[in-house]
Amino acid sequence: MGDSFYSRIAQNPIIAAVNDLNNLNSALNSPCENIFLLTGNIFNLEDIVYKIKSHEKGVYVHLDLVDGISKDNWGLEYIVKNVKPDGIITTKSNLIKLAKELDILTIQRLFILDSLSLDTGIRSIKSTKPDAVEILPGIMPKIVKKIFKETNIPIITGGLIMDKEDVIQSLNSGAIAISTSNEKVWYM
């Protein structure tokens, strides 16, 4: 299930995060092997996923950001069975559990704002056991180390990654990849 995700990460640890469809072609033409799709709706999602896959890139749909499809079990099942992305991203623990039952790669997105959200996030990871965790903002090396040490789940950093120094610092702290909508970083 996750073999292609991790092999693509090994080729290039930068993940193109597409939050505006005007940037999709740039992501498709970039050296990034994986794309986090942070936009779309019930009418265009299937076509977007097909287009990304036709460029032999991995596509991971952020369920919470898709318009027109409920963020519940039925919406998830529809996306997995009909849209057929390589994996899903969500902040919702219940959807991580169901997605694992549907045998699709799961990435749990966590917003770490303070020590309470850190502790809650670690408990959630231990409970749901996603395939990977995306931490936002991604410029917190100590937090990356702590979460990985306590959960042993691969970490992706995202949010506020602005330059090569941020990328290197994230990777050196134990992250396996970096997701970013910053096109300059896609070419690092």
CATH code, domain with 66: 3.20.20.70
Phi, then psi, of 70 in degrees rounded to 5:
-60, 145
Residue 117 has pLDDT above 80, yes or no: yes
**Does residue 139 contact residue 157 with C-beta atoms inside 8 Å?**
yes
Phi, then psi, of 29 in degrees rounded to 5:
-90, -5
Q: Give this prediction's pTM.
A: 0.96
Tens-digit pLDDT profile for residues 162-172: 999 999 999 99
Using CA atoms, how far apart are residues 144 and 13, in angstroms rounded to an integer?
Answer: 16
What three-state secondary structure class fits 27? Answer: helix
**Does residue 82 contact residue 58 with C-beta atoms inside 8 Å?**
no
Count: domains in the chain: 1
Tens-digit pLDDT profile for residues 52-109: 999 999 999 999 999 999 999 999 999 999 999 999 999 999 999 999 999 999 999 9
pLDDT at 3: 86
pLDDT at 1: 61
Residue 2: count of CB within 10 angstroms of its CB: 17
Tens-digit pLDDT profile for residues 127-171: 999 999 999 999 999 999 999 999 999 999 999 999 999 999 999
What's the domain range around 176?
Answer: 3-186
